[in-house]
Chains A and B, each alone.
Chain A
Amino acid sequence: MKLREIAHSRTGDKGDTSNISLIAYDAQHYPLLVRQVTAERVKAHFSELVRGDVTRYELPAIGALNFVLQRALGGGVTRSLALDAHGKSLSSALLDLEVADPDSSPRPR
């Protein structure tokens, strides 16, 4: 199953740093996101694009994760040669990530 089935996402940019939020549609899927969508996996997923560290922040109060990708925007939005200099489309690439189906994992009652 793709992440898109259980979560939504938006990308932001500041200089050469991109942040990608990952928000569970249903709070019960938040633990699955925490377990399966690690900073290491996200870094590997974007290995062609991101030259710096990937840090993950957890926001249990809203059932969301926030990934911060450093040196990810071709030297910075204002100078990048990329077609999508802001990296705005990266959120959709994150939602392409495969995760194990939540229906096969135990749900809280």
Chain B
Amino acid sequence: MELAERGGLDYLVFECLAERTIALAQQAKRRDPESGFDPFLEARMRAVLPLAARHRFRIISNMGAANALGAARRTAAIAADLGVHLKVAAVCGDDVLDEVLAGDYRFEETQMPVRELADRIISANAYLGVEAICAALRTGADVVLTGRAADPALFMAPLVHEFDWALDDWQRLGQGTVVGHLLECAGQITGGYFADPGYKEVPDLARLGFPIGVVDADGGLVVTKVPGSGGRVTAATCKEQLLYEIHDPRRYYQPDVVADFSEVRIEEAGADRVRVTGGRGAPRTGTLKVSVGYADGYVGEGQISYGGPGAVERARLAIDIVRERLELTGVRMSEARFDLIGLDSLHGSRPSRQAADPYEVRVRVTGRTDSLAEAARIGNEVETLYTNGPAGGGGVSRHARDIVAVQSVLVPRDLVRTSVSTVEA
């Protein structure tokens, strides 16, 4: 809100879509055709639409999830309700479920044919680039809502639109990708996810300011934030974010360009002002990435804590008991983990081998099953430790849930047909 009120913005971008969110949204839409978009859309739009109208900035967001058109209609209704007159555009066409099921594709990482999972597949959504978003901006829409789009494209679309960048201007699109990549995780570049007391200090994290990108016609970026907000913008915060979720920095594959981050320059240009230039690019590929969501069985989990002298020994005994009980009672798990939180749950057992035993430790048992009932039995066996396990175990928690997993495939670009619809309030 601080950003919307005092940021002096031309565009406000909300990037809200995690990897599997769209599959969950697709399931929700099947239950209720009017749903399937971000559940926080209502609250966010109610808060921000009056500010957008007053300060005359446009909004771009992937809050459309599995139902961009539904999200656009809802947003228009909220605007009407607030007495704000504006145009809302929905970008559609990322849903390629039918096309992917009809084709002969393999998952990128595992090389498994998509067909083998056909009856368990929930969603398949292509990562769209800037073209469709720019088409939506050209309609004069004040709010543009998309489903799946490449996160950087949400930020690069206004640059292409305002500065009239050609869609084969690979150098500018490369630098535009740098802009989008740096801004897409919001507070992660303004000091969020950065603090390490004694090494990396960040002031006032509870009031973390979100980033503002000031971009020139060549894509040159200054990252800053609203004066007086919490956090900090430094060369170090920008470097961490530049490499976040990047593999080969010379080849960052995007729908619009293959971006090259290897020559990016990052220079501090004042307090909470960092200048970022030097992103380059090479021609885009003929394929688009598609995220496929599918039902992936069930996971059950149980946890229990031990403290005081002998805590680790009692926790290890608890694990032995649960392991044997799960075998005795015939709970079939295709994969299982037995962790001691406080000792070996994050980085394996090696780092803690030389360390002193912790005062308290938490047992975590988790496993993958073919049914929800079996998944629930894992937590039940942990709870049973209250009466049948080692002394002094406390604080049991347990859950069992179905899993929606995501894998990606590459599809030919021309398989994806996008369209824009507008709704006026």
Instruction: Return the chain A residue nearest B278 by Cβ.
Output: A61
**Contact among B240, B245, B246 with A8 in the assembled complex (CB-CB below 8 Å):** B240
A62-B367 contact, Cβ under 8 Å, with A8-B199, A83-B341, A93-B346: no
A48 at the interface (CB under 8 A from B): yes
Contacts of B247 in A (CB 8 A): 14, 17, 19, 55, 57, 66, 68
Give the interface size class of chain B: 35 or more
A76 contacts B407, C-beta separation under 8 Å = yes
A93 contacts B351, C-beta separation under 8 Å = yes
A62-B239 contact, Cβ under 8 Å, with A15-B109, A93-B351: yes
B350 at the interface (CB under 8 A from A): yes
Instruction: Return the chain B residue nearest A14 by Cβ.
Output: B245
Closest-CB distance, B39 to chain A (whole angstroms): 19
B413 at the interface (CB under 8 A from A): no
B245 contacts A25, C-beta separation under 8 Å = no
B296 at the interface (CB under 8 A from A): yes
Q: 9 extra interchain contacts, Cβ-Cβ under 8 A, other than A9-B240, A23-B240?
A: A10-B243, A15-B108, A25-B236, A57-B247, A62-B266, A64-B243, A76-B407, A81-B366, A83-B339
Give the interface size class of chain A: 35 or more
A96 contacts B351, C-beta separation under 8 Å = yes
- A68-90 near B? 1/0 per residue, CB < 8 Å: 10000000111101111000011
Contacts of B261 in A (CB 8 A): 59
Bound: A78/B296 CA distance, A:
9
B263 at the interface (CB under 8 A from A): yes
Please list the residues of chain A having a beta carbon within 8 angstroms of any beta carbon in chain B. 4, 8-10, 12-17, 19, 21, 23, 25, 46-49, 55, 57, 59, 61-64, 66, 68, 76-79, 81-84, 89-90, 93, 96
Name, among B193, B247, B364, the residue most crowded by chain A CB atoms within 10 Å (CB to CB).
B247
- Total contacts A-B at CB 8 Å: 120
B244 at the interface (CB under 8 A from A): yes
A12 contacts B243, C-beta separation under 8 Å = yes
A81 contacts B337, C-beta separation under 8 Å = yes
Contacts of B199 in A (CB 8 A): 4, 8
Bound: A62/B261 CA distance, A:
10
Closest-CB distance, B26 to chain A (whole angstroms): 14
A77 contacts B278, C-beta separation under 8 Å = no
A83 contacts B345, C-beta separation under 8 Å = yes
B246 contacts A15, C-beta separation under 8 Å = no
A61 contacts B263, C-beta separation under 8 Å = yes
B242 at the interface (CB under 8 A from A): yes
Bound: A48/B243 CA distance, A:
24
A79 contacts B246, C-beta separation under 8 Å = no
A57 contacts B248, C-beta separation under 8 Å = yes
A62 contacts B406, C-beta separation under 8 Å = no
A10-B266 contact, Cβ under 8 Å, with A81-B299, A83-B345: no
B262 contacts A59, C-beta separation under 8 Å = yes
Instruction: Return the chain A residue nearest B296 by Cβ.
Output: A79
B348 at the interface (CB under 8 A from A): yes
A-B contact pairs, 9 of them (CB 8 A): A10-B194, A21-B246, A46-B347, A76-B109, A79-B296, A79-B405, A81-B335, A82-B337, A93-B351
B215 at the interface (CB under 8 A from A): no
Bound: A48/B346 CA distance, A:
11
Instruction: Return the chain B residue nearest A17 by Cβ.
Output: B247
A59 contacts B245, C-beta separation under 8 Å = no
B8 at the interface (CB under 8 A from A): no
A48-B266 contact, Cβ under 8 Å, with A15-B408, A66-B243, A83-B339: no
B246 contacts A49, C-beta separation under 8 Å = no
Name, among A8, A13, A79, the residue most crowded by chain B CB atoms within 10 Å (CB to CB).
A79
Closest-CB distance, B167 to chain A (whole angstroms): 25
Interface residues of B in 276-304 (CB under 8 A from A): 278, 296, 299
A89 contacts B347, C-beta separation under 8 Å = yes
**Contact among A25, A66, A84 with B246 in the assembled complex (CB-CB below 8 Å):** A66
A21-B345 contact, Cβ under 8 Å, with A10-B193, A62-B264: no
A78 contacts B20, C-beta separation under 8 Å = yes
